[in-house]
Amino acid sequence: MTKEVKRIIAVVLFCEFLICLGMSLVFPVEPFIKNEYHFTAFDMGVMSSLFAFVQFVASPIVGRFSDKIGRKPMLVWGLLIFAIAEFVFALAQHLWVFDLSRAVDGLSAAMFVPTSMALAADITTERDRAKVIGWLSAAFSGGLILGPGLGGILAHVSYKFPFWVAGVLGLISTLVAWRFLPRDEDERFQSETKDPEGELLGSSWQQIKQIMTPTLAVLFGMIFVAAFGLAGFESIYSLYVNEVHNFDLGAIALVLTLNGIISLVLQVFFFERLVQWLGEVRLMEYSFLLSIVGTILVIYDHSHWQLIVATLFVFEAFDLLRPAITTLLTKMSKTNQGLLNGINMSLTSIGNIIGPLITGALLDVNYQYPYWFVILFLLIALIIGLRLRKLDVQD
């Protein structure tokens, strides 16, 4: 990679770190927001689903639009909208305002996440791509290292205070992206394989049909199914351990902080090696299997430390799954990276819409039901992953 490319990647990593730090500040306080405003687990599921619904609607449009107008405007506006959403949540007093904030937050995620992945694919070679995707995932985990612990400390001031801090971090990242990312017309480092003229022809649906192969269709199917399991586990975790196992704010922050540290080590030092050793498909299979075993242990373990260890198994499997899927997806086509990542985000968002609604409603009925639902969908995703290997994607 050239120095110019490395500088741009560094700016994106910095912005993603701040955004993820802002997002993770609020994770430990979710059950306490629920209790303070007398919400149900289903109400909290609706908040998560609204976030995902807006992602679903906006992601393919945003991905396609970023292919046309350039990556920088989409990244900058996505960061600004994130900051606004966090300030709205901090000011909210009624359920509909909380829901509105989460919907706006979903729009910001649709603008930033697939565009940052597409930018990384645009300016890196296939050889460097796994490394850069790992760095992006590590920036995500790096934010999670500091976020939950800091959020737990800030929540002692007020349960809303972490959201104010998240909004400020969003504004800082917006200014950094606006100041240091170059204009798209100045990006002489863009991938030589990019074909702007060809990408502008036809509708998104026509292009999807052109690039769709049996292997890509199976991969998208796996992404779709896996999203139900991943979203179902993560969306209610804080609520689950607080209500079922009496985890307090400090214990929840500890789990999320440990997860961030381990994820950072895995993605910075081991992800690229794991991809080279196992290949993306086999790495996904092992991650699905590990997450299934870990979820079963979460249901039946009652010791706090055993539960924490089982949770970390699941979270680390998820943190390897996401970059492995993204890396494999970027290798499926040399053009239309914004469109591909937009489809990826949309399929993930469908699971994120329905998963939290179902698991939230099930948690109100019986504490074991939500995670058996998660296990079912992770098992289906594992079976689809085995189909990918038969298609000889790579080994």
- Choose between 268 and 105: higher pLDDT: 105
CB contact at 8 A, 312 and 141: no
Asked if residue 254 has pLDDT above 70, the reply is: yes
- Provide the mean pLDDT of the chain: 80
Q: Is pLDDT above 80 for 321? A: yes
What is the per-residue pLDDT across 149-161, written as a single tens digit (0 to 9) for each? 777 778 888 888 8
- In this predicted structure, the answer to whether residue 394 has a pLDDT above a threshold of 80 is no
Per-residue pLDDT band for 183 (boundaries 50, 70, 90) equals confident
Is residue 91's pLDDT more than 50? yes
Q: Which of 354, 353, 288, 335 minimizes the C-alpha distance to 316? A: 288
Neighbours of 129 (CB within 10 A): 18
Q: How confident is the model over 364-381, as a mean pLDDT?
A: 90
Amino acid at 290: L
Give me the pLDDT at residue 199, please: 40
| Whether pLDDT at 138 is above 80 | no
> HSE (CB half, 13 Å, CA atoms) of 297?
19
In the chain the domains, ranked by start, together with CATH numbers, are 3-183+204-390 (1.20.1250.20)
Crossing angle (nearest 10°) for helices 214-244 and 369-390: 160
Name the pLDDT band for 290 (thresholds 50, 70, 90): very high
pLDDT band at 77 (very low <50, low <70, confident <90, very high): very high
Nearest by Cα to 320 from 133, 111, 116, 148 = 133
**What does the alpha-carbon distance between residue 163 and residue 50 come to, in Å, rounded to a whole number?**
18
Nearest Cα to Cα of residue 348 among 321, 375, 367, 373: 321
Dihedral of CA atoms 90, 77, 128, 387 in degrees, nearest 10, equals 70
Q: Say yes or no to pLDDT of 278 above 70.
A: yes
CA dist 179 → 11, 84, 378 (Å): 10, 19, 42
For residue 191, pLDDT over 70 is answered with no
Transcribe 302-322 into DSSP letters.
-SHHHHHHHHHHHHHHHHHHH
Pairwise pLDDT comparison (108 vs 147), residue with the higher score: 108
The rounded distance, in Å, linking the Cα atoms of 230 and 252 is 18
Taken in order 177, 180, 181, 185, the sign of the CA dihedral is positive
Range of lowest pLDDT (82-91, 149-158, 385-394): 385-394
Confidence of residue 185 (pLDDT cuts 50, 70, 90): low
pLDDT band at 201 (very low <50, low <70, confident <90, very high): very low
